[in-house]
Structure 1
């Protein structure tokens, strides 16, 4: 199932590799979509607000692990493109040990400091206990998130995007079934929704780890590969830490925005919780296409095929922009109907705020589509620091403008939504300008 991305038609190769990744991450969204849908419909607006606010915190925490795995995956792709199996195995060992240690540390910290963290998020008193109950359960899944993302990144780095999709599909179905049982049959409330997600995460994480060990003997690490090679550690650290910083900055900015949203009360919190799920679902395909594009570029960069890289960049931009135009129209036109998936028709206040959010953000998906391509490009050509710079520009603008604009009475909460596309556009401009320098180097 491995795919050599240095051969074959460029657009077709990228799309065939990207499609399972897109389907996989759409399925991954079902972890939180299922919670939001069932909680919103059957446990009420306060429960929806609690789960939505918890999602922002979990996204930040898991982004640390996701960034480390993505950075390591870029190194794996480079080594695979070079056909350097010995260094590839050493890289696998070093990155696994390093990321596992981080995962254990993160898990310990969040359990110890759960209450101070919730205090920083300005969680309203009426949902505090509910959100704490949900978080306490969901935190048990952090190790499972590490396992799945590490082995998924390893398999994708060598062109196998189907197996990660398979395990996510199994987990997504299991999550929905357990959600219905725990919430509707056993009446375990938000803790039941969290428990369903955690069980599903461990099924996918352990499952893909066992599959990789049994079915991919070429990745089994022998005793001679288990040293902490200084050069390998330096390279893994450079890519992983910078990609982790990029993902963490991105989600920390979102977490700060979540704190601002919380200050507007439970109606806005509930609307934001539902609208963010729709928003994430809408642009998830271009995010995953950006990750597939990054693997394509990394393999060809390792193989020294620079003409193929330039042609791949042009093809990827055209595909991404075309998709974003279509999805923007869909979200703009069907914003209210999409909100009604999560919210009861009588919740008119929540519906109005959610529709406003979707129509402001949905008009500018081309901005985020191009930004994901820029992230992937700079990570693949050994410039992961530039991805961090673009993220800081995008999220820094978003957070600063969100606080400034929302404080103006005539603008209010709409200022939080408007700050997002402005940040995307500014980061895109910087990324495209810097690309001129990179193109000359290639």
Structure 2
């Protein structure tokens, strides 16, 4: 008979509560950073292979990103709520609440799938034709996003199961499950996209099929790890009933995260409409930028996944010094990563665009675009860390406020105004303007949070 690990919540205290912050943050974050880099590769590979089919196929996948990102937002945002509350419950030694949080999180993953299953069957055509009148682009996008939505159960189960592993400090297992899903997708992409399984499963449809198969494989691995290697959570489905209280607590933290990422989807949708007035190539460049910048931002999001349970645990255990030290250290690492990204985008934009079979027209728009947009990287690292800190401390609404102001109140109006110059290169400066506003707001809100809930913990 197989024996489970015997790590208990008390043993977990030795990691979250007493281990030095720097090695602890590295221990929990590096596996997640690696897995998020793989996740970035997961997303980029689709576009790289699709770009070799045609530029219209690349544009279709770019237009699909807004709604696809909403699915990811719901899955990740719900997982963030579960992650923060589960870690806090373990820090407070409340095993019952930790178990109920996990059970209701899995239930919510199934509910999320049901919603997007219906959306996938009913909303694809109006969604794409709201962005383009090109029938070829629209049809390729409809096929791609319908498959991703109707078979999204793998996405939601993989995301939730990985958050359960991360919340209990098992980020190495979370990394393994993501690696499995990503590798499956990368292997299957060229097989499906280039028609090796028949014309019906080629092109953008093939890209979608490879994606959902990878998601189901990753979900299966993450579920297995939770059942066999995660004794800090005991799931008992006998007589299970959804708990309104547990769901409320999950979404108090998770809804701002969902809304924040959905704001990003609205921004992308509106930016695509602004850029489409210039050309479909400008939209393709914007889509490629989002794929490329994920290699810079995803490692920081991975570090956030390691940072959040440390902050939540020590907040629950009333250890403010460890909370603040975690935030400062994470911010230093984030800025280092952003500096590397800035240098790559600034000095090798043509090489980056070359991965996507960029035409001369695409290079003419894309090279100045990458060089301008990357200027905001140097500010974004601070904003991202503070935003996740708000969520870890149970004040996700601050993250939402900053995100709405950055992407809807500042970015889109600035992009529209700059587009009136008739020069597409001016539109990219809206990212820099918006990030300046974001970082100022983030520090102001953190000062308020520090005064109200962190400083009193010293007493």
**2:45 is equivalent to residue 34 of structure 1:** yes
Alignment partner of 1:372 is 2:367: no
The superposition leaves residues 372-416 of structure 1 with CA deviations (integer Å, 9 ceiling, x where unpaired) of 11111111111111111011111111122112211222xx32233
User: Partner residue of 2:283?
Assistant: 269
Matches within 5 A, 1:275-286: 275-286=289-300
Correspondence 1:87 to 2:97? yes
Give the TM-score of the pair, scaled to structure 1: 0.93
Measured after TM superposition, the shift of residue 206 of structure 1 is: 2.3
Partner of 1:45: 55
- Matched with 2:33 is 22
- Cα contact 2:415–2:430 (8 A) shared by 1: yes
User: Could you give the per-residue CA deviations for residues 69-119 of structure 1, whole angstroms, max 9, x where no partner exists?
Assistant: 112211111112222111101111222223421331122123211111112
- The residue number in structure 2 matching 1:403 is 416
Residue 220 of structure 1 and its aligned partner are, at CA, apart by 3.1
After superposition, residues 29-428 of structure 1 pair within 5 angstroms as 29-41=40-52, 43-122=53-132, 124-184=134-194, 185-186=196-197, 187=199, 188-222=202-236, 226-344=240-358, 347-396=359-408, 397-409=410-422, 412-428=423-439
Q: For the residues of structure 2 that align with 1:37 and 1:388, how far apart are their CA atoms?
A: 32
Deviates further, 146-155 or 303-312: 303-312
For residue 319 of structure 1, report the CA deviation from its aligned partner. Answer: 1.9
Offset at residue 148 of structure 1 (A): 0.6
SS in 1 for 2:235: coil
Would the alpha carbon gap of residues 80 and 362 (structure 1) be closer, same or farther in structure 2, given more than 3 Å must change?
A: same
Structure-1 separation of matches of 2:239 and 2:175 = 29
Asked whether the equivalents of residues 304 and 388 of structure 2 are also in contact (C-alpha less than 8 Å), the reply is: yes
Does 165-174 or 284-293 show the bigger shift? 284-293
CA distance in 2, matches of 1:274, 1:197: 18
Q: Hey, what's the Cα distance between the residues in 1 that align with 2:94 and 2:319? A: 16
**CA–CA distance in structure 1, aligned partners of residues 67 and 271 of structure 2:** 11
Alignment partners' CA distance in 1, 2:72 and 2:244? 27
Q: How many residues are aligned here?
A: 437
Stretch moving more, 375-384 or 271-280: 271-280
Aligned to 2:449: 438
Q: CA RMSD in A?
A: 2.0
TM-score by length of 2: 0.90
Q: Deviation of residue 224 (structure 1)?
A: 7.4
Give unpaired runs (5+ residues) of structure 2: 455-459
Query: Aligned with 2:311: secondary structure?
Result: helix
Unmatched tracts of structure 1, length 5 or more: none
Q: Tell me if structure 1 keeps the 8 A contact 2:51–2:356.
A: yes
The 1:208–1:123 alpha-carbon spacing in structure 2 relative to 1, beyond 3 Å, is farther
- For the residues of structure 2 that align with 1:323 and 1:32, how far apart are their CA atoms? 20
Partner SS, residue 335 of structure 2:
helix
Counterpart contact for 2:253–2:396, Cα < 8 Å: yes
> Could you report, residue by residue, the CA deviation over 1:284-319 in whole angstroms, capped at 9, with x for unpaired residues?
212322332222211111111111112222222222
* Mapped partners of 1:327, 1:170: distance in 2: 26
Kindly state the Cα deviation for residue 122 of structure 1 after the two structures are TM-superposed. 2.9
Distance 1:222 1:68 in 2: 20
Is it true that 1:6 corresponds to 2:8 in the alignment? Answer: no
1:9 Cα deviation after fit: 1.7
Structure 2 CA distance for aligned equivalents of residues 183 and 126 of structure 1: 17
CA contact (8 A) 2:151 2:212 kept: yes
Preserved contact between residue 71 and residue 244 of structure 1 (Cα < 8 Å): no
Cα separation, 2, equivalents of 1:22 and 1:103:
26
CA distance in 2, matches of 1:100, 1:415: 43
Summarize the Cα distance change of 1:380–1:348 in structure 2 as closer, same or farther, 3 Å threshold: same
Q: Residues of 2 paired with 1:321 and 1:218: CA distance?
A: 33
Cα distance in structure 1, aligned partners of 2:412 and 2:427: 8
| Structure 1 residues 92 and 105: alpha-carbon distance in aligned structure 2, compared to 1, 3 A threshold | same
Runs of 4+ in 1 over 6 A off after TM superposition: none
Shift in Å, 1:227: 4.1
Shift of 1:223: 5.3
Aligned to 2:457: none
How many Å separate the matches in 1 of 2:72 and 2:266? 11
Once residues 196 and 231 of structure 1 are traced to their aligned partners in structure 2, the CA distance between those partners, rounded to angstroms, is: 38
